[in-house]
Amino acid sequence: MGPTAGIDLGGTKIQAVVLDPDGELAGQGRTRTPVDGGADAVVGAIGTALAGAASAAGLAAGDLAAVGLGSPGQIDQASGSVIGAANLPGFEQPVPLRDLVAEATGVQRVALDNDVNVGTLAEQRHGAGRGHDDLLAVFAGSGVGGGVVLGGRLRRGLTGAAGEIGHMVVVLGGDRCPCGRDGCMEAYAGRISIERKARQAAAAGRRTVLLDLMRERGRSRMTSGVIAAALEAGDELAHELIDQAVAALAAAIASSVNLLDVDLVVLGGGLAEKLGAPFTERVAGAVAPHLFASPPRVEVVGAALGDLGGAIGAAVLAREPLGP
């Protein structure tokens, strides 16, 4: 197959890459995600990012053999639609993104999948999971997503929800998750949940520098960088909240490994990447006591591709048939 492009569609930015016929990175482009204008504006921005990546690779969009898209929200593969991507303007209702992008770019082969699935595919083919046919990828950021590769193939499941590790219950009757259920791992390890708990504690009189750091940096949200800075400053509440995150991640990861018997777990996402190797090592150490196999053979490693992972995975997706 000729060169393929990948698009990582996010709530704040759209990242595009082009892979050459050998699968090597040939060019990249980026633009901001529109805040209004609906699906038409988003498709136009996708075209802008795609054109930039193609130009950087010395190509025109028409030279591309295929384009892959990684999008937030639920994906209906039958119709090529994105459902319920609330952080994209005009995506509250289903959007037939696959066909819209094909029409706008003139590229007839367009593949679409969830952003976490394509991030998993990228790490397995080009990142920390290269050489592993069986792995679990976990992305801890605003929420917590996951993907599963078994026998060298990305697994989507009956409804496309395979790998939703963030909604594995780790505490029966536990804290409320942003999904509306109780006790999900994401309720303890997602950045949005961590921020909610920090604000509640501060409102109740708990001393913390988390909100001060947020204001000093001009942030309206408690970013992963703010949390990392609070940890470095020795903030007691920040350490407690990250302790909870580590424990929840470890319980969900170990349970998944016990079920799937994979030999590698790749831990990425904005929160994990910002907290770095010490965080990954803590999670790995907390996983070990919960593993059934003895001696445990699974390794927990940090993701390798960073911001480009989603777009690279989308470009890989464009080369491959969809699996179950």
Per residue in 201-258, pLDDT (tens digit) is 999 999 999 999 999 999 989 999 999 999 999 999 999 999 999 999 999 999 999 9
Q: Are 56 and 45 in contact (CB under 8 A)?
A: no
Residue at 322 is within a domain:
no
What sign does the CA torsion over 101, 107, 109, 115 have?
Answer: negative
181 with 111, same domain: the answer is no
110 with 182, same domain: the answer is no
Residue at 323 is within a domain:
no
115 with 234, same domain: the answer is no
59 with 91, same domain: the answer is yes
160 with 271, same domain: the answer is yes
Domain extent at residue 105: 4-120+308-317
Helix, strand or coil, per DSSP, at residue 87: coil
61 with 167, same domain: the answer is no
94 with 180, same domain: the answer is no
| Count of other CB atoms within 10 angstroms of residue 302 | 21
Return the CATH number at 38: 3.30.420.40
What average pLDDT score do residues 161-182 get? 95
DSSP secondary structure letter of residue 63: G
Confidence of residue 98 (pLDDT cuts 50, 70, 90): very high
36 with 159, same domain: the answer is no
68 with 179, same domain: the answer is no
pTM exceeding 0.95: no
E-state strands within 52-131: 66-71, 74-76, 81-83, 110-114
Provide, rounded to the nearest whole percent, the portion of the chain with pLDDT above 70. Answer: 99
Per residue in 253-304, pLDDT (tens digit) is 999 999 999 999 999 999 999 999 999 999 999 999 999 998 889 999 999 9
146 with 105, same domain: the answer is no
101 with 177, same domain: the answer is no
153 with 292, same domain: the answer is yes
| Domains identified in the chain, total number | 2
